[in-house]
Amino acid sequence: MEKFDLRSASLQEICAFMENIGEKRFRGEQVFEWINEKFVDDIDEMTNLSQALRAKVAQHGYISQVDIAHVQTSDDGSTKKFLLKMQNCGIIENGQGIVFVEAVLMEYRHGLSLCISSQAGCRMGCDFCATGTSGLLRNLTAGEIAAQLYKISKAQGRRISNIVLMGMGEPLDNYDNVIKFIHMVNHPKGINLGQRHITLSTSGLVNKIYKLAGENLQINLAVSLHVPNDQIRRRIMPIARKYSIDELLDACKEYSKNGRRITFEYIMLDGVNDSKSNAVELCKRVKGINCHVNLIPANEVPEKGYKKSKPQKIMEFRQILEASGVLVTQRRELGSDISAACGQLRNEQNKYQT
């Protein structure tokens, strides 16, 4: 019989597992708490279970291993990039039980924010992004997504107050595991992280945005719009060949019902999407949507050849948006000296795996 992945199980699933092995349901609650509240990753650390019971649990189940393999800190100390090794004995196809992903911890005035990965690699292939260059290795399990938070919080000895799903991968391309992860970290018997403290960023998988809207979650949605016209968007984001901007914005409107405000991310690429007429086009597009626009000065990925827009251009772009009443913020450029900024996370370590 295949062993049961305790790290990726919901409370109900662990309780059912306990019953299946002839134990009481409430034992499942204890195991769930050990993993998701106390952050243990060894069944033997579950000291309110007898040794015999721990042995039985270990015979039928396992906790997939997530380890911090490397840490880099930015010069100003505000940002740390973690390389995480994911070792899942339940995933053996293609020899991809072991993969490496990255997570980035940022210190803000209001607390710690962690940018986590949803996949090892990504198959969306956006032309400006380092993550997409080697394609998708595999989806992370719900537990592997959550464990990034648990491990790093434990290592720092501090609570992390915000999570952004903006690391490696396209979260909506790993839909079921991402939804399960949200329920896991939101659970009162786990770390009880409020849904409003979670932001999911997508490159625009329209069908999945509708599905997400139907889940009635309170999470924030960020959409990587990046270009206000289909012609250029199709050139740099393959997903735009499948869904037009009109279709994408209709899905966003649906999501923004119930008072949820959308963030449109807009990467500023020199000479590609940063002209005054692009700004005017963008205003027309987002008019009437409950949203704000987050301008991201592009992080340069050497082999991609894109350049970051000039500060003057970014300022003018911003002013045009503001003048027409669009809410705008500009992303701080944290962590670029350690390649921890958006779009700079890549799969270097994975190349060495067999």
Please give the residue ranges that form the binding site for ligand SAH (CB under 6 A): 122, 128-129, 166, 170, 201-203, 224, 265, 267, 296, 298-299, 301, 342-343
Q: CA 271 to CA 341: how far, in whole Å?
A: 21
H-helix segments, 230-310: 230-236, 245-256, 276-286
Q: Within positions 155 to 174, which residues make up the interface with ligand SF4, using CB under 6 A?
A: 169-170
Q: Which is nearer to ligand SF4, 64 or 119 (CB)?
A: 119
Exactly one of 18, 98, 103, 122 binds ligand SF4 (CB under 6 A); that residue is 122
Q: Give Rg (Cα) of the chain.
A: 21
Let me know if 170 is a catalytic residue.
Answer: no
Let me know if 342 is a catalytic residue.
Answer: yes
Closest residue to ligand SAH: CB criterion: 343
Q: Which does 79 bind (CB under 5 to 8 A by kind): ligand SAH, ligand SF4, none?
A: none
**3-state DSSP assignment of residue 294:** strand
Q: Which does 119 bind (CB under 5 to 8 A by kind): ligand SF4, ligand SAH, none?
A: none
Exactly one of 40, 66, 98, 126 binds ligand SF4 (CB under 6 A); that residue is 126
Least gap, CB of 126 to ligand SF4 (angstroms): 3
Contacts of 336 (CB under 8 A, 6+ apart): 299, 344
DSSP 48: T
Q: Which does 251 bind (CB under 5 to 8 A by kind): ligand SF4, ligand SAH, none?
A: none
Other CB atoms within 10 Å distance of the CB of residue 232:
17
Q: Which does 347 bind (CB under 5 to 8 A by kind): ligand SAH, ligand SF4, none?
A: none
Q: Which does 267 bind (CB under 5 to 8 A by kind): ligand SAH, ligand SF4, none?
A: ligand SAH
Based on the shown chain and the rule CB under 6 A, indicate whether residue 204 belongs to the binding site for ligand SF4. no
Amino acid at 99: V
Q: Which stretch binds ligand SF4 (CB under 6 A): 71-79, 126-134, 138-146, 148-156?
A: 126-134
Other CB atoms within 10 Å distance of the CB of residue 85:
16
Q: Among 148, 3, 137, 153, which Cα is nearest to 63's?
A: 3
Which residue's structure tokens are 């409430």?
A: 26
Other CB atoms within 10 Å distance of the CB of residue 48:
10
Least gap, CB of 282 to ligand SAH (angstroms): 15
Q: CA 33 to CA 229: how far, in whole Å?
A: 48
Q: Contacts for 42-51 with beta carbons within 8 Å, 24 or more apart?
A: 43/6
Based on the shown chain and the rule CB under 6 A, indicate whether residue 240 belongs to the binding site for ligand SF4. no
Q: CA 105 to CA 149: how far, in whole Å?
A: 10
Based on the shown chain and the rule CB under 6 A, indicate whether residue 124 belongs to the binding site for ligand SF4. yes
Per annotation, catalytic residue among 115, 252, 291, 342: 342
Q: CA 59 to CA 82: how far, in whole Å?
A: 32
Q: How far is CA 316 from CA 286, 300, 307, in A?
A: 18, 21, 17
Q: Which is nearer to ligand SF4, 131 or 162 (CB)?
A: 131
Based on the shown chain and the rule CB under 6 A, indicate whether residue 178 belongs to the binding site for ligand SF4. no
Q: Which does 132 bind (CB under 5 to 8 A by kind): ligand SAH, ligand SF4, none?
A: ligand SF4
Length of the chain: 354
Per annotation, catalytic residue among 2, 45, 93, 265: 93
Active site positions, annotated: 93, 342
